[in-house]
C-alpha cells in the first residue's frame, strides 16, 4: 500500500509542477473535510481551481480521467463548498483534473464539473 501512496504523491508533485509552469499558484494541498478531499487548490489569476489528480497504471476501464465518477465529483463539490465556506473566497472557481495513464504522460482537463 505504501508503494501506491508513493506513486500517488509523485503524481501530485508532477501535477503541481505542470500547473505551476502554466502560471497557477499553489494555495493548499490535500485539503480534507468530512465529505471529501481535494488534492490541490490552486489560483489561476482571479480563479480558484480545485484539482483532482488521478493516476492509473494502464488505460483499462477508461483510464485516469474516466475514473472521476459521478460519486467522486460529488465528493469534490462537497469538499470545495467546505473550503469556500471556511476560506471566504469571493471569486470564481472551477474544477480541473490532471490524469496520468501508464507512461506518466499528463493530461490536464479544465472545468470538468459543472456546478
Quick: pLDDT tens for 56-101.
765 555 666 667 788 889 999 999 999 999 999 999 999 999 988 8
Integer Cα distance of 102 and 94 in angstroms: 27
Residue 32's pLDDT band, with cuts at 50, 70 and 90, is: very high
> What does the pLDDT read at residue 57?
64
- For residue 80, which phi and psi values (nearest 5 degrees)? -65, -40
Q: Rounded to 5 degrees, what are φ and ψ at 37?
A: -140, 145
Which CATH number is 2-109 given?
A: 3.40.1350.10
Percent of the chain beyond pLDDT 90?
60
Strand 47-56 and strand 93-101: the pairing is: parallel
What is the domain partition of the chain in residue ranges?
2-109
Residue 103 has pLDDT above 90, yes or no: no
**SS3 state of residue 48:** strand
Amino acid at each position: 500500500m505504501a508503494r501506491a501512496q508513493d506513486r500517488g504523491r509523485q503524481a501530485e508533485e508532477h501535477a503541481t509542477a505542470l500547473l505551476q509552469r502554466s502560471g497557477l499558484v499553489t494555495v493548499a494541498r490535500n485539503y480534507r473535510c468530512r465529505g471529501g478531499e481535494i488534492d490541490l487548490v490552486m489560483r489561476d489569476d482571479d480563479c480558484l481551481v480545485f484539482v483532482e489528480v488521478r493516476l492509473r497504471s494502464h488505460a483499462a476501464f477508461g483510464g485516469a480521467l474516466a475514473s472521476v465518477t459521478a460519486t467522486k465529483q460529488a465528493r469534490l463539490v462537497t469538499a470545495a463548498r467546505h473550503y469556500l465556506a471556511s476560506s471566504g473566497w469571493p471569486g470564481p472557481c472551477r474544477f480541473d483534473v490532471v490524469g496520468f495513464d501508464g507512461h506518466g504522460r499528463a493530461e490536464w482537463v479544465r472545468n470538468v464539473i459543472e456546478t
